[in-house]
Amino acid sequence: NSKVIQTPRYLVKGQGQKAKMRCIPEKGHPVVFWYQQNKNNEFKFLINFQNQEVLQQIDMTEKRFSAECPSNSPCSLEIQSSEAGDSALYLCASSLSPDTLYFGAGTRLSVL
C-alpha cells in the first residue's frame, strides 16, 4: 500500500465552488509533486515542492489553484473556482529526490 496518503478519495463540487484536496507525503520525503490525470489517462504536471518551497508550477496552477506544503501539516491543493474541465484524478507523489516518485491513491474530483 502507498505510504503517500491523499484525502478525500472522492470530491464532488459544483461549478464555481472551491475544491480542496490534501496529501501527506511519505515520511522523510522532502519533494512533493501534484499531477492531474484526465479521463484519457494523460498526466499533467501541476506543481512541485521541496520542503515548503514551490519549485515549479504551470500557468494554470498559478492562476487558478492555491497550493502549499507547510511544515508539520499536510500539503494541499485547492482549486479556487472549479470548472467542468477540472474533473480528473489528482495525484500527489513524494520523493527523496526529484526523480523517483511514489504516488498516493489520488483524489477523484467531479465538477457538476
Partner 1 sequence: GEQVEQLPSILRVQEGSSASINCSYEDSASNYFPWYKQEPGENPKLIIDIRSNMERKQIQELIVLLDKKAKRFSLHITDTQPGDSAMYFCAATSTGGNNKLTFGQGTVLSVIP
Q: Hey, which residues does 110 pair with through a beta bridge?
A: 12
Cβ distance to partner 1 smaller for residue 9 or 18: 9
Nearest to 89 by CA among 31, 46, 60: 46
- Tally the C-alpha atoms within 13 A of residue 70's C-alpha that lie toward its C-beta: 6
State how far the Cα of 57 lies from the Cα of 70, in Å rounded to an integer. 17
Give the range of 12-20, 21-29, 71-79, 104-112 binding partner 1 by CB under 8 A. Answer: 104-112
Residue 48 sits in the site that holds partner 1 (CB under 8 A): yes
45 binds partner 1 (CB under 8 A): yes
Binding residues for partner 1 (CB under 8 A): 2, 4, 33, 41-43, 45, 48, 50, 55-56, 91, 97-106
